[in-house]
Amino acid sequence: MQIRAQTKAVDLNAALAQSAKAVEAALESLLPQPTGLHARAQEAMRYATFAGGKRLRPFLVMQTARLFDVAEDNAVRAAAAIEVLHTYSLVHDDLPSMDNDDLRRGRPTTHRAFDEATAILAGDGLLTIAFEILSHPATHPSADVRCELISNLARAAGSDGMIGGQMIDMKAAEQTLTAEQVMLLQRLKTGALFEFSCEAGAILGQARKEHRDRMRSYAQDFGLAFQITDDLLDVTSTAEKTGKAVGEDKGQGKATLISIYGIDGAKAEARKLIARANATLAHYGDKAVELQALATYLLDRES
Ligand code: IPE
Ligand code: IPE
Ligand code: MG
Ligand code: MG
Ligand code: MG
């Protein structure tokens, strides 16, 4: 494969901020305004969502959509859908019966700020509204395209995707997993939603299979590198920087590649994955430099 020289300078922070702004404006209008007897659940949905997450999954949707000339009005809805679904996964991940965490995105977790029942319901509300957003004709004029987004997101979030990964993650505390099993756990728990995020742009753009395969391949390497660096941050960073408790994985007997390869070995693995992810995008030349910069940033990220 020919790798084109990159000529375009990238300001990744500016690109991330611009995409986050567009997605947050969409989320603001898409999430229900708290009203009526059930307002508390909707307040908690907003509390969990508007807490300053990095908005990486929406960025991936917006950037991959650009590769296939998708209108921003369409892309931003798919970006909002994956962000609310991801936020639901965090609300439930933090629950006392799961990771039992008190801090998320720099403030008390939803069950701490509200109560456990409200956090469960707010998570359910965020999960289901993701599909409502995708199903609306404003997401794409073609019902086939909308249906494909819905079915792909359902698969990515379901029991053979993110939920399956969370199940292995919980069970792993009671048994020792091999490196391959830890990678499977990470591919499901974290990778599946990244795969959806990258493929969504190609689905919206009705791109050919080869493009969709390439988006998935980039996402798989990106997702694994992302979770390795999440696990690294748990060992090397601080709660001030990450906005969530650190040192928890070891304490809870979580299976991570750090426990298998050590810090340097895990970093080397992440570096290899990032290089491969970026080589996959070489096909798109200058159009993909933001996506390449995002993968490269993973290795040095502090939050
Ligand atoms: C945290 O994801 C959960 C994992 C999948 C490891 P992010 O690090 O993307 O969290 P936010 O959205 O920025 O808070
Ligand atoms: C959570 O993984 C992944 C999902 C929510 C699906 P972690 O448990 O490692 O995420 P953090 O470290 O709490 O953000
Ligand atoms: Mg967890
Ligand atoms: Mg957790
Ligand atoms: Mg973690």
Q: What is the pLDDT of residues 178-223, one digit of tens each?
A: 999 999 999 999 999 999 999 999 999 999 999 999 999 999 999 9
Ligand 2 atom with the smallest distance to the CA of 165 is: 6
**Predicted confidence (pLDDT) at residue 162 exceeds the cutoff of 90:** yes
Q: For residue 259, what pLDDT is reported? A: 87
Q: For residue 257, what pLDDT is reported? A: 87
Ligand 2 atom with the smallest distance to the CA of 227 is: 9
C-beta 26 within 6 A of ligand 1? no
Q: For residue 3, what pLDDT is reported? A: 42
Rg (CA), the chain: 19
Q: For residue 7, what pLDDT is reported? A: 54
The residue-averaged pLDDT of 285-292 equals: 97
Q: For residue 2, what pLDDT is reported? A: 41
Neighbours of ion ligand 3 (CB under 5 A): 93, 99
**Predicted confidence (pLDDT) at residue 119 exceeds the cutoff of 70:** yes
Mean per-residue pLDDT of the chain: 95
Expressed in angstroms and rounded, the spacing between residue 186 Cα and the centre of ligand 4 is 13
Note the pTM of the prediction, 2 decimals. 0.96
Q: For residue 251, what pLDDT is reported? A: 86
Among all bound ligands, the one having the nearest atom to the CA of 223 is 1
Beta bridge partners of 104: 107
The residue-averaged pLDDT of 274-280 equals: 98
Supply 149's token pair: 């987004």
Q: Which of 4-18, 137-151, 255-269 has the highest mean pLDDT?
A: 137-151
3-state secondary structure string across the chain: CCCCCCCCCCCHHHHHHHHHHHHHHHHHHHCCCCCCCCHHHHHHHHHHHCCCCCCHHHHHHHHHHHHCCCCHHHHHHHHHHHHHHHHHHHHHHCCCCCCCCCEECCEECHHHHCCHHHHHHHHHHHHHHHHHHHHCCCCCCCHHHHHHHHHHHHHHHCCCCHHHHHHHHHHHHHCCCCHHHHHHHHHHHHHHHHHHHHHHHHHHCCCCHHHHHHHHHHHHHHHHHHHHHHHHHHHHCCHHHHCCCCCHHHHCCCCCHHHHHHHHHHHHHHHHHHHHHHHHHHHHHHHHHHHHHHHHHHCCCCC
Q: How confident is the model at residue 6 (pLDDT cuts 50, 70, 90)?
A: low
Q: What is the pLDDT of residues 228-250, one digit of tens each?
A: 999 999 999 999 999 999 998 98
Q: What is the pLDDT of residues 66-112, one digit of tens each?
A: 999 999 999 999 999 999 999 999 999 999 999 999 999 999 999 99
Supply 59's token pair: 């960025």
Decide if 125 contacts 38 (C-beta within 8 A): no
